[in-house]
Amino acid sequence: KWADGKMIKNEVDMQVLHLLGPKLEADLEKKFKVAKARLEETDRRTAKDVVENGETADQTLSLMEQLRGEALKFHKPGENYKTPGYVVTPHTMNLLKQHLEITGGQVRTRFPPEPNGILHIGHAKAINFNFGYAKANNGICFLRFDDTNPEKEEAKFFTAICDMVAWLGYTPYKVTYASDYFDQLYAWAVELIRRGLAYVCHQRGEELKGHNTLPSPWRDRPMEESLLLFEAMRKGKFSEGEATLRMKLVMEDGKMDPVAYRVKYTPHHRTGDKWCIYPTYDYTHCLCDSIEHITHSLCTKEFQARRSSYFWLCNALDVYCPVQWEYGRLNLHYAVVSKRKILQLVATGAVRDWDDPRLFTLTALRRRGFPPEAINNFCARVGVTVAQTTMEPHLLEACVRDVLNDTAPRAMAVLESLRVIITNFPAAKSLDIQVPNFPADETKGFHQVPFAPIVFIERTDFKEEPEPGFKRLAWGQPVGLRHTGYVIELQHVVKGPSGCVESLEVTCRRADAGEKPKAFIHWVSQPLMCEVRLYERLFQHKNPEDPTEVPGGFLSDLNLASLHVVDAALVDCSVALAKPFDKFQFERLGYFSVDPDSHQGKLVFNRTVTLKEDPGKV
């Protein structure tokens, strides 16, 4: 019921346009109105169930999207030819028969990241879709690194990608690399030339940009000449940019003769100096899918323009041709996920690194304390659509709260402390208080915290001159201390030379020995000192990359208050043995995760999310 009706209408209109195409003249003709038929009993019951079950408009829309995906079922393994747009050749049926003999009719997908950056929230959807679809159909999913550009690839990215896939709970059937197939890809490139379907070109990079480039003057060069030149490229006889191998086809977007190989004199992380020519994505992707007998090549929408080259190349070489399916990307408002732009943020000092908790890379979300189950749940709620999906960050946060509410044990912490002395403390020494790890389910255990004559409370939980509606500690207004069974009442305010309140003197009584207080507040006693990092949105506008919304560019849109560090926060001693990435709910404050910067002398906590949803904050 909180959904933006206009946004839903636009989404539905886009989906209908995608499915049915633009309206024809007949559609625009005025039609006579027909009286609305009464709802059938089953329809009324379905509508009633939706209301009674408390489904929001967001959930209903997600359900509709999932049903639409069910209506457009993928092909069965071996039935690629039933897919609209699939190109059938005289060799297709025999190749599909061989494919089924190898796979046994098993569904095969792959997640093929480029190892030149850290995965982000959009990749989480791709991981869930590829691994999830395979799992749901008793299939397998490969993790294949598209390592065809040694200039931008680093070992840390390979490791981080593997870590993130495992963190989300998925295990690849096999980890492969495009470089595993360099010999085969080269042999196929030679075969393309022999078939007259590829040629060596000397146009420079700037001449190949855009979609209306002039045909290459070398397009019709003799096959024998291209074979000699391609071999010369391999032997390092051309400088970078001096020669490329191009395929003879025109893609959907009008791009002509995409490049298959280019010269690069950068050592490869796996093959070293063996190669000085490297295949492009347009050439590599479909052939690696073919080699691994992928049944469903699931790609984001921007690769739709490459579908024709995908089918063309497999068929040109008479090899098994998988089916490419496209789906919409997942984006978030108030976020930048471009590798180039994140590097700019790091270079300018706006963020610390790829795992800065204000970013939406997966390593950043893990560091902030987002559980992998929450990210997977979010991807499931978003669903799979053809149109690009841009979500509000607080919808992701809601999934985080759902998981942490059931998994993060409670603790007490004070961010801005105020010292409180209990003048009539009921014992000669500190008491041990049993605090439930999960107050709603005490079967999950307890932890022990000390309760001594000196406690610390939040400074904001006391006011000398309270405004109307203030229910916490004030003159004549006692408060309860959570879990202790005691109520404290103000007796004296101690101020420093500047007039600032330094401490309070109070008396205490049993909570059942008098009138129930209006509020119970959290506290700590004999606490540990820790550092707490509080995060807000990194950007001020929804679309920081949109020049109409942010004319000065995304770097001009930074929120300078996106990080607030509390150096001397206090936390109860129950968390003393916490390890990096351990998660807690600090009562009344939010969910927090132990940061890897923690050391033996001091814990560091990142606020993951607040306790209540606030669309104005991340």
Q: Which long-range contacts (CB under 8 A, 24 or more apart) does 259-265 make?
A: 259/208, 259/283, 260/189, 260/192, 260/198, 261/189, 261/230, 261/233, 263/233, 263/236, 263/238, 263/239, 264/149, 264/150, 264/151, 264/240, 265/236, 265/240
Pairing assessment for the beta strands 108-111 and 446-451 based on DSSP bridges: unpaired
> Strand order of the sheet with strand 528-535?
410-411, 583-586, 590-594, 603-609, 528-535, 563-571, 413-414
Pairing assessment for the beta strands 563-571 and 528-535 based on DSSP bridges: antiparallel
The catalytic position among 270, 329, 352, 463 is 329
Asked whether the beta carbons of 585 and 610 are under 8 A apart, the reply is no
Give the 3-state DSSP-derived string for 384-403, with helices as H, strands as E and coil as C: CCCCCEEECHHHHHHHHHHH
Provide φ and ψ at 555, rounded to 5°. -70, -20
Q: How many CA atoms are closer than 13 Å to the CA of 568, on its beta-carbon side? A: 4
Note the residue count of the chain.
618
Q: In sequence order, which residues have a C-beta less than 8 Å from that of residue 40 and are 6 or more positions away? A: none
Phi-psi category of residue 206: left, alpha or beta, with phi > 0 → left and psi -120 to 50 → alpha: alpha
Query: Is there a catalytic annotation at residue 397?
Result: no
Q: How many CB atoms lie within 10 A of CB 70?
A: 8
Q: What is the DSSP letter of 240?
A: T
- Rounded CA gap, 511 and 487, in Å? 5
Partner residues linked to 209 by β-bridges: none
The catalytic position among 11, 55, 79, 114 is 114
The catalytic position among 135, 270, 339, 463 is 339
Q: Which helix (H) or strand (E) holds 193?
A: helix 182-194
Distances (CA, A) of 68 to 3, 72, 371: 20, 6, 29
Query: Is there a catalytic annotation at residue 329?
Result: yes
Distances (CA, A) of 130 to 80, 109, 265, 372: 18, 6, 34, 16
Q: Which long-range contacts (CB under 8 A, 24 or more apart) does 447-450 make?
A: 447/409, 447/411, 447/574, 448/574, 449/412, 449/483, 449/524, 449/525, 449/572, 449/573, 449/574, 450/525, 450/526, 450/573
Q: How many CA atoms are closer than 13 Å to the CA of 569, on its beta-carbon side? A: 23
Query: Is there a catalytic annotation at residue 30?
Result: no
- Catalytic positions: 114, 329, 339
